[in-house]
Amino acid sequence: MNLNRRHKLTNEEIEHVKRITNSGKLYYDYDPLIESARNCAYETCRRYSRHEAGIDELRPLFKELGKNPGIAEGFITEFGFNLSIGDDFDAGCGLKIIDCNEVSIGNNVTIGENVGIYTSNHAEDPGLRRDHWCSELPVRIGNNVVIESNSVVLPGAIIEDDAWIRPGSVVLGRIEADSICAGDPARRENK
């Protein structure tokens, strides 16, 4: 990995990276354009966390960022251009969104501290994994969702509207609408 590779990608370069990472197929994670996009996003997020940049400087990273976002320090996104967030979003400290594939988050979503949302799967084959090959699955989070602190949302997860994810949960697969879930893996609690 070359941490010095960093430039704001053109729209054409972004579309090229998306064709690679959003395909669901294995790809080499240290492609020079992928490294540049990642390093540019990381640097912007670091500046935001150090209060050297405001939400207006963070906003261009995103595919979409709705009205009234509240994003605490420690926020990291892998690229940003695969990340869509609706209105009235509130995130605690230490939110990590690895958006190598599309991550869509609806309106009125609250996320606690130290939550990770990941699209990335490393290669199953140890040799390919060692050589930095990955594949990605999208993540979808509906409207009016609460994800409490120290939870992890894994590649391919879908959290439907009005769901509540309790602290420390690991979300994989589909979480039904209007459910309260907890555990590893997160399962519906009895009401």
Mean pLDDT of successive 10-residue segments in the chain (191 residues)? 63 92 93 92 94 91 96 96 98 97 98 98 95 96 98 98 98 96 90 59
- Catalytic residue chosen out of the listed positions 7, 16, 51, 122: 122
| CB-facing half-sphere around the CA of 3: CA atoms within 13 A | 2
Catalytic site includes residue 51: no
How far is residue 59's CA from residue 57's CA, in Å, rounded to a whole number?
6
Whole-number pLDDT of residue 4: 56
